[in-house]
Chain A
């Protein structure tokens, strides 16, 4: 009797389990590419690591069209901040970056330490509404329809 109600798993079941696996995967937080986001009106198409280093070290304060650059730092302690300190600015640590910005204040390079954002959503919101804004984010965490322009980082 039980054999009459034999469960046929076959191809259908295998496909189902594959779907379960894919459905779980589609919601997972895979780390994406670290990119820069700028205002949609910004003409930049690609940044080099050297470009970003000059921008985030406040050595370059204006875009080519003369618009002042406003940087939004990643959240302190985040992976994006780690990428900024180790791969872009190469100062070794967040503590060194804080020290650099404080030194820059005393050298009259800047007036205040740049503001850091909570997450990619806040970064996108600020950059989208600030003509000179730029932030470093994980592309996979950018919420949809934010109105920012994603700019790849060459040789990152």
Chain B
């Protein structure tokens, strides 16, 4: 963009206008230098000159008044500057609470065909999780986040889950520290897409990214301490997250919040490199190590399980494109059986923004080691998802989605219409 000429100063314009009067008036009045009535012309010229002089005096007065008015304003601003953002510890007031949230309502249709040749169709309206999100700045560089989920299980009733409770200290761009319960940085999706379905392009999470209490295979939540930030490196930016926490409990949906059933802690590192040369590109990986406590009385769970989870992700998210590809490998060494069980899974998601429309496609896969006793009831799964997201407003999206899901003992055709929103 070339710089356009900037014109300033009403004062210059005023002076020029006065000059115009001086030049134009003789011509407008038809005064000719050859007129025989020199006396009359001379008198008129003198009168005009007096009037011009008076106008100039008035203009000069106005300019001077304007200048002193501006000077007074500047003085007043210097004496009473805009106060810095209110800090509770300086003013003794309570921190300001910001409440936001997510919700979604949907209609589902599912047609299931099982390997035993039975079929069933179901259709229902469903109330999605009601997600209350609270943030507050409690200090200059300290903030609080709380996320409470009201869930409506298919069995009926309502359950309340405190999903995240974090206090964050922002030391510098290269170092932020959070303590509390948060999302494990075990995958790109889990780090960037939290509980609100409005955040998702699709109606639901990828198969490998399901929550622990929905048959998910990854430890999506942890309680502990997290350090993160980003640094400029040659060619781009490297962001990192490292975590130390209580780790898994005896079963997948046991997030240890107040005690740790074994002394070992979960350790995790998550890295993403974003090259400057290709805006929107991100590539990275993660590694998590934990020791899963024994579960006496359960087959092949009489001893601990060493867990190593490897992750890799490749993303390109510069509008209008969205490309996310991610894979995880879960390596369990079972001390009870002396066997190694390896489960792999991942997804590839593509989307493209066309004004308010966003068509998308995702391929999911999960290949479970059937001998792994830590994932009872979880099946191999391959899924194809396609749909369209439409932005009804800045904070309300309508999604139409079709999914084909193939599991060990069944395959399903599913259709969902979802209205998801943020507030």
Residues of A within 8 A of B (CB): 4-9, 12-13, 15-17, 19-20, 22-28, 30-34, 50, 59-62, 66, 68, 70, 90-92, 95-96, 98-99, 102-103, 105-108, 111-112, 125-126, 128-130, 139-140, 144-145, 147, 156
Inter-chain CA distance A7–B32, complex, in Å, is 6
Question: In the complex the two chains form, is A105's CB within 8 Å of B100's CB?
Answer: yes
Q: A19-B16, A59-B237, A106-B194 are in contact. List 4 more A-B contacts (CB 8 A).
A: A13-B27, A68-B140, A106-B133, A112-B98
Inter-chain CA distance A62–B140, complex, in Å, is 12
| Interface core residue of A19, A50, A92, A95 (most chain B CB under 10 Å) | A19
| Interface core residue of B23, B143, B391 (most chain A CB under 10 Å) | B23
CB of B243 to closest CB in A, whole Å: 14
Which B residues are in CB contact (< 8 Å) with A68?
A: 140-141
Question: In the complex the two chains form, is B32's CB within 8 Å of A4's CB?
Answer: yes
Inter-chain CA distance A98–B17, complex, in Å, is 47
By the criterion of a CB under 8 Å from any partner CB, how many residues of chain B are at the interface? 67
Question: In the complex the two chains form, is A33's CB within 8 Å of B3's CB?
Answer: yes
- Which 5 A/B pairs are nearest by Cβ-Cβ distance? A26-B13, A129-B81, A16-B23, A23-B16, A16-B24
Which B residues are in CB contact (< 8 Å) with A66?
A: 172
Which B residues are in CB contact (< 8 Å) with A105?
A: 98, 100, 133, 135
In the complex, what residue of chain A is closest to B17 when comparing beta carbons?
A23
Question: In the complex the two chains form, is A90's CB within 8 Å of B279's CB?
Answer: yes
Contact among B35, B85, B237 for A70, CB-based, below 8 A: B85
Question: In the complex the two chains form, is A13's CB within 8 Å of B7's CB?
Answer: no
Question: In the complex the two chains form, is B1's CB within 8 Å of A156's CB?
Answer: yes
Which A residues are in CB contact (< 8 Å) with B318?
A: 90
Question: In the complex the two chains form, is B135's CB within 8 Å of A129's CB?
Answer: no
CB of B18 to closest CB in A, whole Å: 9
Known: A26-B7, A68-B140, A125-B82. A96 touches B319 (CB 8 A): yes
20 contacts between A and B (CB under 8 A): A4-B36, A5-B32, A7-B32, A19-B17, A20-B20, A22-B13, A23-B13, A26-B12, A30-B4, A59-B237, A90-B318, A99-B395, A103-B199, A106-B133, A108-B135, A111-B135, A111-B136, A125-B77, A128-B77, A144-B70
Question: In the complex the two chains form, is B276's CB within 8 Å of A50's CB?
Answer: yes
